[in-house]
């Protein structure tokens, strides 16, 4: 019972401060958990990124809602900015498979850039690599700092 309660708390903490309007995990617009797992598994294998990291970012970004749009214009499950989506060569950022593949590819690039430091890669996913480079670490933005804690915590408990 205690472990189940901790799992629920972890899921709810993923939702707090999501990129968007605070979606609940697996809300009515969200994909089925099995569909999300299949997309994450395929993308992580293709891009050489830990499955738990892709899953944690996806849930923090969209809570599994493929139609999510942030106030900054990020789109889909992995909340891709239009420039990132076009850099991946995808035609539809709302297509779940294309979106997760592109997000995992971007995570792979960030992990390579930051020598497999997941904390810095996640910070760059949220705030941009320029901000991480400028501050030589996680930028002093409260949103980014909270995001990094949420994602890394979910990644470690995956």
Dist CA 135 CA 119 (whole Å): 14
Asked if residues 14 and 63 have their Cβ atoms less than 8 Å apart, the reply is yes
The two structure tokens encoding residue 143? 């949103």
Say whether 143 is catalytic: no
Q: Say which of 37, 61, 109, 143 is annotated catalytic.
A: 61
Catalytic residues: 61
């Amino acid at each position: 019972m205690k472990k189940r309660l901790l799992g629920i708390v972890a899921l709810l903490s993923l939702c707090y401060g999501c990129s968007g309007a605070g979606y609940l995990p697996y809300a009515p617009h969200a994909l089925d958990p099995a569909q999300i797992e299949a997309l994450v598994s395929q993308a992580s294998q293709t891009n050489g990124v830990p499955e738990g990291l892709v899953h944690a970012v996806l849930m923090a970004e969209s809570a599994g809602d493929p139609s999510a749009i942030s106030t900054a214009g990020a789109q889909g499950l992995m909340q891709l900015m239009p420039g990132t989506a076009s850099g991946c060569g995808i035609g539809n950022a709302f297509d779940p498979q294309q979106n997760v593949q592109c997000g995992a590819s971007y995570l792979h690039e960030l992990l390579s850039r930051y020598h497999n430091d997941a904390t810095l890669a996640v910070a760059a996913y949220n705030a941009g690599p320029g901000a991480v480079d400028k501050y030589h670490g996680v930028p002093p933005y409260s949103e980014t700092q909270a995001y990094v804690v949420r994602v890394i915590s979910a990644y470690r408990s995956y």
